A and B are shown apart, each in its own frame.
Chain A
């Protein structure tokens, strides 16, 4: 499979104030990512992690301070970006005084399509995002969910090979969210490569072929959500984790030690059984919790654990 988007060592600093010397924010600090053809990559991260900045850079709308972005295998494209990239923004970035249909016609006209083809693509895009009946509404009068759907519609007008979606699932009512998920799945199945930033963990778990977790402007982890088992674990905190793991391993299978924690699968044993075993084996348990191996837990583990470890070290 060919690499559609390759990002390496990307840095971006926002400067504000007079002559850029009053304040600055490092939005990207050495971001690395590769997206292969046909993938749907979910970008996950706390607010300020640099997801939107990454998508702006990937769309060729922002110039990184350093690092390299290659689209479809090469960095040198006229105008700094290749054709065939579409971007749907988180916020409205459209002319407020145009209607939905006029906005889509605006985009289609810029592609120099013939009038019949233009009309066909506009109608098709309106149908796909279920905005056909609202096409006469002005952008300034749209709800957030409708703006999101307009974003997808304008992105589809140019029949892109790479679709960059920034928080497209936020602000949608449950029905619209389901429709957009169905649409994204259909696009993915049609072979469109998609990078989707979202805080909707459930949607990403079901849609994405790969999750990239960002933190502090960097790629923090990357994994296939298919590896999430959905299984439940009892997590025990103890002062003697190594010894405790060995002892518990004699009574339970697949016991895992991670730093000062021991993870015991809750397959056939209940939490009460495991805690009773700890008492019987003389293991002093300081704390216990149940962990589910889903995207939410994996995300929290990745984002919060380093700080916990740092606190423990301190």
Chain B
């Protein structure tokens, strides 16, 4: 088996689950899960919500903020403290590591979704269940795309640097491509910039998909494509980066 074949080898679920369990234990015991929960839930008590769209918009923002805490230091912690080396020596592959850490980080958001279900029972009265589940599915896709970006950043930045780097992205990704200040640019360049921005997992894409499933609105063709492409794209990028890194590179000097 060559290095390339090892890289492309299918991940073993038992190892993915093992890494995820370790991440969840970290989240619970370090109270990072509690911080994620509070960051995500507190805005619900402060903001007025009157319909399903507003509720979903708030949930999207809350969950993304909660994920900053939950996925803070994902992969980077293991690279920094050397536990990735121990995992590698016992047979874990880069993709298993990434999938495990991502699964663990997402698990930290389960209490958020639980609290959301309890707090939002009235806002979704009258919304058909399949439409609501579809909207949730788009939210999860958006979340996975963001988590993928955090994984890529985790392979490049030490400590909690990935969460810090995500804060400006969190703000920036709230704006659609129309808001880019590129009107004075040459038309071709402006178009490239807007298209590139549209290819990002923007919150506006998710909002467009919520409107599509709840009210039958027509989203831009780029919205579902960008949302669906982001998770595999960033996960692959992170896996390539991690497999090219020296396992003990950050630890051994």
For A155, the closest partner residue in chain B by CB is: B89
Is B90 in contact with A110, judged by CB distance below 8 angstroms? Answer: yes
Give the chain B neighbours of A86 by CB distance below 8 A: 89
Is A62 in contact with B248, judged by CB distance below 8 angstroms? Answer: yes
Interface residue tally of chain A, by bracket? 35 or more
* Most chain B Cβ neighbours within 10 Å, of A60, A85, A98, A106: A106
Q: How many A-B residue pairs have CB under 8 A?
A: 103
Whether, in the assembled complex, B2 has its beta carbon less than 8 Å from a beta carbon of chain A, the answer is yes
- Within the complex, the shortest CB–CB distance from A98 to chain B, in Å, comes to 6
Is B252 in contact with A158, judged by CB distance below 8 angstroms? Answer: no
Q: How far is the CA of A312 from the CA of B242 in the complex (A)?
A: 51
Is A107 in contact with B25, judged by CB distance below 8 angstroms? Answer: no
For A87, the closest partner residue in chain B by CB is: B89
Given that A98-B22, A98-B25 are contacting pairs, would A93 and B82 also be in contact in the complex, using a CB cutoff of 8 Å?
A: yes
Is B252 in contact with A62, judged by CB distance below 8 angstroms? Answer: yes
Whether, in the assembled complex, A95 has its beta carbon less than 8 Å from a beta carbon of chain B, the answer is yes
Give the chain B neighbours of A110 by CB distance below 8 A: 15, 18, 87, 90-92
For A59, the closest partner residue in chain B by CB is: B89
Is B82 in contact with A109, judged by CB distance below 8 angstroms? Answer: no
- Within the complex, the shortest CB–CB distance from A53 to chain B, in Å, comes to 7
Given that A79-B3, A107-B90 are contacting pairs, would A56 and B252 also be in contact in the complex, using a CB cutoff of 8 Å?
A: yes
Give the chain A neighbours of B2 by CB distance below 8 A: 76, 78
Give the chain A neighbours of B3 by CB distance below 8 A: 78-80
* Most chain A Cβ neighbours within 10 Å, of B1, B26, B83: B83
- Within the complex, the shortest CB–CB distance from A312 to chain B, in Å, comes to 35
8 Å CB contacts to B: which residues of A126-166? 138, 154, 157-158
What 1/0 mask marks residues of chain B from 167 to 198 whose CB sits below 8 Å from any chain A CB?
Answer: 00000000000000000000000000000000
Partner among B6, B25, B248 whose Cβ is within 8 Å of the Cβ of A79: B6
Q: How far is the CA of A87 from the CA of B18 in the complex (A)?
A: 20
Is A111 in contact with B85, judged by CB distance below 8 angstroms? Answer: no
Whether, in the assembled complex, A16 has its beta carbon less than 8 Å from a beta carbon of chain B, the answer is yes
Whether, in the assembled complex, A96 has its beta carbon less than 8 Å from a beta carbon of chain B, the answer is yes
- Within the complex, the shortest CB–CB distance from A88 to chain B, in Å, comes to 10
Is A97 in contact with B26, judged by CB distance below 8 angstroms? Answer: yes
Partner among A78, A85, A102 whose Cβ is within 8 Å of the Cβ of B89: A85
Partner among A25, A81, A89, A102 whose Cβ is within 8 Å of the Cβ of B82: A89
Is B90 in contact with A61, judged by CB distance below 8 angstroms? Answer: no
Partner among A52, A83, A89, A154 whose Cβ is within 8 Å of the Cβ of B91: A83
Whether, in the assembled complex, B29 has its beta carbon less than 8 Å from a beta carbon of chain A, the answer is yes
Q: How far is the CA of A25 from the CA of B26 in the complex (A)?
A: 35
Q: How far is the CA of A89 from the CA of B251 in the complex (A)?
A: 11
Given that A14-B253, A112-B12 are contacting pairs, would A93 and B83 also be in contact in the complex, using a CB cutoff of 8 Å?
A: yes
Whether, in the assembled complex, A94 has its beta carbon less than 8 Å from a beta carbon of chain B, the answer is yes
Given that A61-B252, A79-B6 are contacting pairs, would A95 and B83 also be in contact in the complex, using a CB cutoff of 8 Å?
A: yes
8 Å CB contacts to A: which residues of B8-44? 12, 14-15, 18, 21-22, 25-26, 29-30
Whether, in the assembled complex, A91 has its beta carbon less than 8 Å from a beta carbon of chain B, the answer is yes
8 Å CB contacts to B: which residues of A19-68? 25, 52-53, 56, 59-63
In the complex, besides A89-B82, A92-B82, A95-B26, 8 extra interface pairs with C-beta distance below 8 angstroms are: A14-B253, A25-B253, A62-B246, A93-B85, A95-B78, A97-B25, A110-B15, A111-B90
Q: What would 10 A/B residue contacts be, using CB atoms closer than 8 Å?
A: A59-B89, A59-B248, A62-B246, A62-B248, A79-B93, A87-B89, A92-B82, A97-B26, A107-B86, A109-B15
